[in-house]
Amino acid sequence: MSPPSTATLFSYSLALLFLLLSFSTPTNASNITLILAKYPQFSTFNHYLTATHLASQINRRQTITVLALDNTAMSSLLSRHFSLYTLKNVLSLHILVDYFGAKKLHRISKGSTLTSTMFQATGSASGTSGYVNITNLKGGKVGFGAEDNEGKLDATFVKSIKEIPYNISIIQISHPLDSTEAEAPTAAPSELNLTDIMSKQGCKAFAGLLQASGADETFNQNIDAGLTVFCPTDKVVSDFMPKYRNLTAPKKKSLLLYHGIPVYMNMQMLKTNTGTMNTLATDGANKFDFTVDNNQEVVSLDTTVVTAKITGIVKDEEPLMVLKINKVLLPKEMYKPVEPASGPSADAPADSTPADDQTLDHDGVGGLGDRRMGMVMVVLSLCIGMLLI
């Protein structure tokens, strides 16, 4: 057997690399925006999926059916002048969190079913609203209607646009689905008062500091484009106050801005996108970043000075996310990093959160990030590949 040429080896390596890369993303790899871009008759629908951030939510799901509306159906919906946030609820009722290809639609057991939607899944809907009734009708038609629509099936199946079996199905329906609940006026996230939200959920002290320092303005300005806030709980902040009072006004502000990242990240995203994060305090050379670690379902933020754990969700409404943490984040630009040998909480304020009982081994195997694990896999597979040739 002649030794394999360099080109053969190279192509094997590439193939393996692609194989591994495709395994490393647990989400459905399709991009709804790109798929719909090929169909100009859905351009308005596609535009609003992006504007409402629903496109990214669709791309993150593994099993999804999108009930697409063409430009004519969309203009009848837009003529009702919903706010963008209400429109988001209405459109999320058109996203089924199950897979329905054309075949499955025409073969529904007992001829009728109720299926859950993204409107229901995000917790915006109450009771059974947020479910869609799909019914096989006479003459091979398939009817669709919101569950809270007094039995009316507003729309019928028109055609299948794209089916990737059991991952994503995009089908056209004739009319928008009416639902009183989805159409109810919704407060825009920027109309939500971040201070109020945090104050009512155990982050009153932190909210007070944001207001007193003027840092709240920067947080509010970032909500529309996507914002994740990590708020230390009240006890944690009160223990930290002696140190905080010692800071100059600009340093106080930097420390507070360090608790926000200018992007929406839910728990699922934080678990899969571990690594360095820029913060609202980042300004060119003033990096003010921290690292997100994920170890056995516990997500922690490591500033090199302190490691804080995420202990709860205060608010999750894309584009705004507010999470509770059990320590004040101390940037290495302002505090001396702890020596790697000492424990993670050497310089940390005392904290009394129950979640802190499950102390983690900071230098354990969990320190091997996904990426490094991926590299190890690539090298291993390459070796196996070479042996097989």
Ligand X SMILES: *[C@@H]1O[C@H](CO)[C@@H](O)[C@H](O)[C@H]1NC(C)=O
Which residue ranges make up the site for ligand X (CB under 6 A)?
A: 28, 31, 33-34, 59, 62, 112-114, 133, 135, 151, 153, 164, 167, 193, 195-196, 220, 242-243, 246
Other Cβ atoms closer than 10 A to 246: 9
Cβ-based nearer residue to ligand X, 34 or 383: 34
Cβ-based nearer residue to ligand X, 310 or 322: 322
State the Cα–Cα distance between residues 307 and 240, nearest whole angstrom. Answer: 15
Cβ-based nearer residue to ligand X, 160 or 220: 220
To ligand X, the closest distance from the beta carbon of 114 in angstroms equals: 5
State the Cα–Cα distance between residues 215 and 331, nearest whole angstrom. Answer: 16
To ligand X, the closest distance from the beta carbon of 223 in angstroms equals: 10
Position closest to ligand X via CB: 151
To ligand X, the closest distance from the beta carbon of 7 in angstroms equals: 28
- Bond prior to 319 in cis (omega within 30° of 0): yes
To ligand X, the closest distance from the beta carbon of 154 in angstroms equals: 11
To ligand X, the closest distance from the beta carbon of 231 in angstroms equals: 15
To ligand X, the closest distance from the beta carbon of 361 in angstroms equals: 29
Q: Is the dihedral of CA 118, 120, 123, 125 positive or negative?
A: positive
State the Cα–Cα distance between residues 4 and 342, nearest whole angstrom. Answer: 50
To ligand X, the closest distance from the beta carbon of 196 in angstroms equals: 5
Cβ-based nearer residue to ligand X, 167 or 266: 167
Cβ-based nearer residue to ligand X, 195 or 311: 195
Q: Distance between alpha carbon 322 and the CA centroid of its chain, in Å?
A: 12
Cβ-based nearer residue to ligand X, 344 or 349: 349
To ligand X, the closest distance from the beta carbon of 56 in angstroms equals: 6
Cβ-based nearer residue to ligand X, 150 or 297: 150
Cβ-based nearer residue to ligand X, 113 or 160: 113
Cβ-based nearer residue to ligand X, 219 or 230: 219
To ligand X, the closest distance from the beta carbon of 46 in angstroms equals: 10
To ligand X, the closest distance from the beta carbon of 137 in angstroms equals: 9
Cβ-based nearer residue to ligand X, 28 or 169: 28
In this structure, the dihedral spanned by the alpha carbons of residues 192, 190, 131 and 170, taken in order and rounded to 10 degrees, is -170
